[in-house]
Amino acid sequence: MKTIIEPFRIKSVEPIRMTTRAQREKYIRNAHYNLFGLKSDQVLIDLLTDSGTSAMSSDQWAAIQRGDESYAGSESYFRFYEAVTAIMPFKHVIPTHQGRAAEKILFSVISGENKKIPNNTHFDTTRANIEYTGATAVDLVIEEGKKPQSIHPFKGNMDAKALRKFIDDVGPKSIPCVMLTLTNNSGGGQPVSMENIKEIRQICKKYKLPLIFDACRFAENAYFIKIREDGYSNKSIKEICKEMFSLADGCTMSAKKDALVNIGGFLCLNDDDWAAKSRNLLILTEGFPTYGGLAGRDLDAIAVGLHEILEEDYLHYRIRSTEYLGEKINAAGVPIVLPVGGHAVYIDAKEMLPHIPVAEFPGQALAIELYLAGGIRGCEIGSVMFGESAQMELVRLAIPRRVYTQSHVDYVIEVIIDVFKRRNELKGVRIVYQPEVLRHFTCHFDFVSHN
Ligand SMILES: *Cc1c(COP(=O)(O)O)cnc(C)c1O
């Protein structure tokens, strides 16, 4: 086996800044120990999110120049439409400014008081948009998907038996659609198998319920199907994607993930009535149906990105480089969510820092130290973010697409292992200020002292 290399060379570069620990101590103190409060130039390796942080290709930048900025009927829209439907053969394709705008429109049309929408695990914006209409968002991921250390090739699968029971209990009339999130972001970027998609499809068919994908990382999901599921190793990623989408009635998509762009999204539907109602709302909040909150050039960049994301060399490098980071730190003893998902590595901070009680936010303590030790910015996913309903205390290291090289990743590994060796020195934190909602973005912390 030879080294898996980045399947691209670098044409344009952006400097990242080295800082000293003393400088970082000052920066993070000024940010009240909240990593969202740092300026990006105070960060060396930014693993806060993989959303909208991709590097575009020279072909995408060329496509930006071709953008047709006509208000209606823009050529860019038709190139975008062709690119989307080549993979996702739905009847209606509605552009939006990002994934949550597609969610907001879809749920305004189909959801409401007393409705219930099941998913493997709802992403936070999906859940929030469903709940905003008065409906309930229900998570039905398989049991293995809830345990960080349990090994399963498709930990994102939905529990089919639980879905059947759920439909029988609440009645199909209160369920406007069933959703599947590919890959399951909130569950650690874990994939859903084709077998599971087919099984869920059968159940939906029986009860006449539409199946909608949250398709943000559809290509990463298809690659996992290719390498892990029987019968798919000889199929192309495009064939697998087409098979996946042929089993759904529509999808919401954030182009900031697997369309390799910095902004954009879309909503796909087969149902004419839902599509007509969605376009009416689109005009109200996003824009005319052939641009939907985006510039023509953005639509062209998405069209090219959707083509590039299907390249197997890219997906091989993408999935393997995420796994490489997880494997190396795990081999050194760092507890992580296993198996490594597609877009991020999750460190189990509760397991790593047993001397810091959950009330003193072990995930935040670890995220702060990773920044102090090496200028790395990760994201606490635990009690700071979810309060008392947090299931785990994790630090997510999300990998931007095509941005960092293997030496950057090797550096991250060295920093994490160094912090792991000194883990007993880490101190817990407390919250000294918090806003009323979504506190993780803006709350202030300080270290706890036990003297
Ligand atoms: C990012 C994301 C969204 C929301 O998309 P935005 O473009 O950030 O609005 C929805 N679902 C999943 C699974 C996501 O990862």
Q: pLDDT (tens digit, 0 to 9) for every residue of the chain, 451 residues total?
A: 788 899 999 999 999 999 999 999 999 999 999 999 999 999 999 999 999 999 999 999 999 999 999 999 999 999 999 999 999 999 999 999 999 999 999 999 999 999 999 999 999 889 999 999 999 999 999 999 988 888 999 999 999 999 999 999 999 999 999 999 999 988 889 999 999 999 999 999 999 999 999 999 999 999 999 999 999 999 999 999 999 999 999 999 999 999 999 999 999 999 999 999 999 999 999 999 999 999 999 999 999 999 999 999 999 999 999 999 999 999 999 999 999 999 999 999 999 999 999 999 999 999 999 999 999 999 999 999 888 878 789 999 999 999 999 999 999 999 999 999 999 999 999 999 998 878 899 999 999 987 5
Encoded amino acid at 381, one letter: I
Atom of ligand 1 minimally distant from the CA of 185: 13
Q: Is residue 9 part of a domain?
A: no
Q: 399: CA distance to ligand 1 center in Å?
A: 15
Of the residues 263, 284, 308, the one at which a domain ends: 308
211 and 318 in a common domain? no
Note whether residue 3 is domain-resident. Answer: no
Ligand 1 binding pocket, CB closer than 6 Å: 51, 98-100, 123, 125-126, 181, 185, 214, 216, 254, 256-257, 265
Please tell me whether residues 71 and 134 are part of one structural domain. yes
Residue nearest to atom 12 of ligand 1 (CA): 123
Q: Is residue 194 assigned to a domain?
A: yes
The confidence score (pLDDT) of residue 390 equals: 81
Query: What domain range is 370 assigned to?
Result: 21-50+312-447
* Dihedral pair phi/psi, residue 57, rounded to 5°: -85, 170
Domains identified in the chain, total number? 2
CA–CA dist 17, 23 (Å, integer): 12
Distance CA 157, CA 146 (A): 11
If asked whether residues 261 and 167 sit together in one domain, one would say yes
Residue 138 pairs in a beta bridge with 118
Point out which residues pair with 395 in neighbouring strands: 347, 380
Contact 367, 34 (CB under 8 A): no
Residues in contact with 369: Cβ distance below 8 Å, sequence separation at least 6, in sequence order: 419, 426
- Confidence at residue 3, expressed as pLDDT on a 0 to 100 scale: 87
Q: Which two tokens stand for residue 376?
A: 């790395």
Which position has the token pair 């200028």? 375
Token pair belonging to 412: 């991250």
Is the peptide bond between 339 and the residue preceding it cis, with omega within 30 degrees of 0?
Answer: yes
Question: Residue 286 has what pLDDT?
Answer: 95
Distance between CA 386 and CA 128 in Å, rounded? 13
Domain boundary among 278, 308, 338: 308
CA of 50 to the centre of ligand 1 (A): 10
Q: Which is the closest atom of ligand 1 to the Cα of 102?
A: 9
Identify whether 183 is preceded by a cis peptide bond (ω within 30 of 0): yes
Q: Is residue 251 part of a domain?
A: yes
Same domain as 339, residue 202: no
State in Å: Cα 295 to ligand 1 middle.
Answer: 20
* Ligand 1 nearest atom to the CA of residue 254, by list position: 7
Q: Helix or strand or coil: residue 295?
A: coil
Instruction: Determine the angle formed by the axes of helices 296-308 and 58-66, rounding to 10 degrees.
Output: 150
Give the pair of three-digit tokens for residue 208.
């006449």
* Strand duo 429-433 + 444-447: pairing: antiparallel
Q: Is 47 helix (H, G, I), strand (E, B) or coil?
A: coil
Which atom belonging to ligand 1 lies closest to the Cα atom of 183?
A: 13
Nearest CA residue ID for atom 8, ligand 1: 99
Q: How far, in Å, is the centroid of ligand 1 from the Cα of 213?
A: 12
CA of 420 to the centre of ligand 1 (A): 31
- Same domain flag for 220 and 340: no
Classify residue 7: in a domain, yes or no.
Answer: no
CATH of the domain at 148: 3.40.640.10
Closest approach atom of ligand 1 to CA 256? 7
- Indicate the top mutation candidate among 117, 214, 258, 286 to test ligand 1's pocket, ranked by most ligand atoms within 8 A of CB: 214
pLDDT at residue 451, as a whole number: 56
- Residue whose CA lies nearest to ligand 1 atom number 3: 99
Eight-class DSSP state of 184: B
Ligand 1 centre to CA of 96 (Å) is 12
pLDDT attached to residue 386: 82
Last residue of a domain, one of 277, 308, 339: 308
Q: How many Cβ atoms sit within 10 Å of the Cβ of residue 238?
A: 15
Closest residue CA from atom 5 of ligand 1: 99
Cα(230) to ligand 1 centroid in Å equals: 29
Assess whether 92 and 146 both reside in one domain: yes
Name the residue with the closest Cα to ligand 1, atom 11.
123
Mutation to probe ligand 1, out of 97, 185, 213, 217 (largest number of atoms < 8 A from CB): 185
Same domain membership, residue 272 and residue 146: yes
**Cα 153 to ligand 1 centre (Å):** 23
pTM of the predicted model as reported, rounded to 2 decimal places: 0.95
For residue 398, the CA-to-ligand 1 centroid distance in Å is 14
Å from CA of 99 to ligand 1 middle: 5
Q: Is the domain of 143 the same as that of 283?
A: yes
Q: Same structural domain for residues 293 and 410?
A: no
Are 45 and 87 in the same domain? no
CATH number for position 358:
3.90.1150.10
Give the single-character DSSP code of 187: G
Cα separation, 207 vs 212, whole angstroms:
15
328 neighbors 340 (Cβ within 8 angstroms)? no
Asked if 336 and 248 sit in the same domain, the reply is no
The answer to the question of residue 400 being in a domain is yes
For residue 115, the cross-strand partners are: none
CA of 121 to the centre of ligand 1 (A): 13
pLDDT score, position 112: 95
The pLDDT of residue 186 is 83
The rounded distance, in Å, linking the Cα atoms of 401 and 418 is 26
371 and 386 in a single domain? The answer is yes
The closest-lying atom of ligand 1 relative to the alpha carbon of residue 181 is 13
Measured CA to CA, the distance from residue 391 to residue 349 in angstroms comes to 12
Contacts 24+ apart (CB under 8 A), 144-150: 145/120, 145/121, 145/184, 145/187, 145/190, 146/187, 146/391, 148/188, 148/335, 148/336, 148/337, 148/338, 148/346, 148/348, 148/351, 148/392, 148/394, 149/335, 149/337, 149/338, 149/348, 150/338
